[in-house]
């Protein structure tokens, strides 16, 4: 009971800390609700018929409360603080490898070049069996990840399986620094390319160094900054990355929240790297938060052209606040506004339907703002690209090959049988190698339903309901058989798309993440469009110019 009292007092202090930040107008209501809650919690834990778990109960209450606010306000347990730190720094002590679940085991997806896993000879497809004497079978990937991490310099014996054979290796953990920039290189005549995966505390430094490298051996006349799939990160780094391309003293973003004294305007503090080089920023539906601050700033200041699809629409800012017992809370404290004054938040979490769901801001309610040059831009729904590119959906068969790990497994087999391949970007899978892939699939279950099959099934059900089935049965069955025959040819119909994924997966076995990025650029329509725009200065300038008076901007 004494242990429970001490724990309860700690939780009360945590809640009290939240209370201290409240406005005086809500003083009575907050105090009242805290009193009710603490009394209910105490009564349940003291008198409930069965033994309770106070920590579990409290975490469920906290999680439920925060879920009613927005997806970004989160409680971070003491045990999860280190994982949160890794997200913001990209730095941890470990072996340097991405892993994932494979049935009852955890499998290596890719070792990072030059880190302990790579030095120890681990390869994609290896199954992790033991860490020292601890059996890993049945553990989830996050549990195994925690066991693999540790203080740099500490060692352990790893037992793993490859092609049915068991190996043991002594591995010494090192400080692992994940790159924010996994690849940079030249992709066209004097056109440079930089991919940014996340806004860690070294993002701007890595981009600056990448630009220096590109300029060192090339006459750089245009730059592509790829923010596709980048979920964001640190606000300060979004400002610093923008600062690489815009002058010192320029407002990048302003934040506004309920506590007015916390409202701030953030301006660039440093001399830029290059304010003149033609710039294209690539975004997509998964570009969020800090990615939207950078792309929105570049767009609002008419500093470059944005290409891709409308971004995610996260215009909220979170602040991490420390709690007692080593826990933390990441709480949404404000909304951010780009230089034109727009907030691109797509969902209004303050207004929920009766069932608790929320909806996006409709296009009809989005307000217009202007860039410094007079171009129209809109709030309330992410960053709209200056050039909208259609999303090419993967075929059903390709999605099935990926989700069932058939492409992954074939790439693993390919590496076992081929000591080397041409360098990334030049590797091409030939017809004989694709035939070998088809042979590899011969005994695999490739079961998927297409929209056409679903419609045929629906048509048969409708025919039964309306008493037409007997007269149409022969034609419907014939149609289903004809389509099944056509579906069997999908490996040929979608050969080009499948080869692209095969090549990227195979190249990653030899040239790691950097090689995969370089290989995929060969088939990237948005990169090709960016190169076209950067090479045509007249087109580039026309996109950044406001429409002529009287002309429609639709």
The string of DSSP letters for 245-303 reads TS-TT-EEEEEEESSGGG-EEEE--S--S-SSS-EEEEE-TT--THHHHHHHHHHHTT-
179, 202, 314, 529: the active-site residue: 314
Beta-carbon count within 10 A of 497 CB: 16
Q: Is position 289 annotated as part of the catalytic site? A: yes
126, 300, 379, 490: the active-site residue: 300
Distance CA 22, CA 39 (A): 21
User: In degrees to the nearest 10, what's the CA dihedral of 474, 475, 478, 483?
Assistant: -150
Backbone angles phi, psi at 297, to 5 degrees: -65, -45
> First CA to last CA across the chain, in angstroms?
68
Three-state DSSP at 228 gives: coil
Residues 6+ positions from 110 with CB-CB distance below 8 Å: 97, 98, 124, 508, 512, 513
548 to 302, 368, 375, 552, 553: CA distances (angstroms): 16, 17, 10, 8, 9
What residues are paired with 76 via a beta bridge? 328
254, 289, 311, 334: the active-site residue: 289
Q: Is position 3 annotated as part of the catalytic site? A: no
Distance CA 306, CA 289 (A): 16
Q: Is position 445 annotated as part of the catalytic site? A: no
What residues are paired with 105 via a beta bridge? 102
Residues designated catalytic: 289, 300, 314
């Amino acid at each position: 009971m004494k242990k429970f009292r001490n724990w309860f007092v700690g939780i009360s202090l945590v809640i009290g800390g939240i209370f201290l930040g409240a406005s005086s107008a809500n003083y009575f209501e907050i105090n009242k609700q805290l009193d009710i809650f603490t009394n209910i919690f105490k009564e349940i834990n003291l008198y409930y018929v069965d033994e309770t778990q106070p920590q579990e109960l409290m975490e469920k209450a906290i999680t439920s409360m925060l879920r009613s606010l927005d997806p970004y306000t989160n409680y971070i347990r003491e045990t999860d603080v280190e994982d949160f730190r890794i997200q913001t720094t990209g730095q941890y002590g470990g072996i340097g490898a991405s892993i994932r679940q494979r049935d009852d085991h955890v499998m290596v997806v890719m070792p990072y070049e030059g880190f302990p896993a790579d030095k120890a000879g681990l390869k994609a497809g290896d199954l992790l069996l033991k860490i020292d004497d601890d059996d890993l079978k049945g553990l989830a990937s996050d549990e195994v990840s925690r066991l693999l991490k540790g203080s740099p310099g500490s060692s352990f014996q790893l037992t793993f399986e490859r092609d049915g054979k068991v190996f043991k290796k002594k591995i010494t953990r090192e400080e692992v620094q994940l790159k924010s920039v996994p690849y940079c290189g030249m992709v066209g005549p004097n056109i440079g390319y930089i991919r940014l995966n996340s806004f860690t505390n070294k993002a701007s430094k890595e981009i600056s160094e990448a630009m220096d490298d590109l300029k060192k051996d090339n006459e750089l006349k245009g730059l592509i900054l790829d923010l596709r799939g980048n979920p964001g990160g640190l606000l300060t780094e979004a400002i610093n990355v923008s600062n690489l391309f815009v002058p010192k003293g320029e407002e990048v973003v302003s934040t506004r929240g309920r506590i007015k004294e916390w409202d701030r305007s953030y301006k660039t503090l440093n001399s830029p790297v290059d304010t003149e080089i033609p710039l294209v920023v690539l975004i997509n539906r998964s570009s969020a938060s800090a990615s939207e601050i950078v792309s929105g700033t570049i767009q609002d200041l008419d500093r470059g052209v944005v290409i891709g699809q409308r971004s995610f629409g996260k215009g909220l800012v979170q602040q991490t606040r420390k709690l007692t017992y080593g826990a933390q809370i990441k709480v949404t404290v404000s909304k951010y506004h780009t230089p034109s004054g727009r907030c691109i938040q797509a969902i209004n979490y303050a207004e929920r339907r009766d069932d608790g769901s929320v909806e996006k801001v409709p296009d009809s309610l989005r307000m217009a703002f202007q860039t410094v040059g007079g171009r129209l831009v809109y709030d309330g729904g992410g960053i709209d690209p200056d050039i909208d590119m259609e999303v090419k959906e993967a075929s059903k068969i390709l999605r099935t090959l990926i989700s069932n790990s058939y492409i992954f497994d074939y790439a693993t087999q390919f590496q076992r049988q081929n000591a080397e391949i041409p360098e990334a970007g030049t590797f091409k899978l030939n017809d004989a190698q694709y035939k070998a892939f088809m042979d590899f699939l011969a005994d695999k279950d490739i079961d998927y339903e297409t929209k056409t099959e679903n419609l045929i099934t629906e048509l048969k059900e409708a025919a039964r309901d309306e008493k037409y089935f007997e007269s149409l049965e022969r034609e419907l069955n014939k149609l289903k058989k004809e389509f099944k025959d056509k579906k069997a040819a999908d490996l040929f119909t979608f050969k080009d798309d499948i080869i692209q994924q095969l090549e990227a997966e195979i190249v990653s076995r030899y040239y790691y993440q950097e090689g995969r990025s370089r290989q995929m650029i060969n088939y990237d329509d948005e990169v090709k469009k960016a190169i076209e725009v950067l090479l045509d200065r007249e087109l580039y300038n026309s996109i950044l110019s406001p429409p002529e008076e009287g002309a429609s901007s639709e």
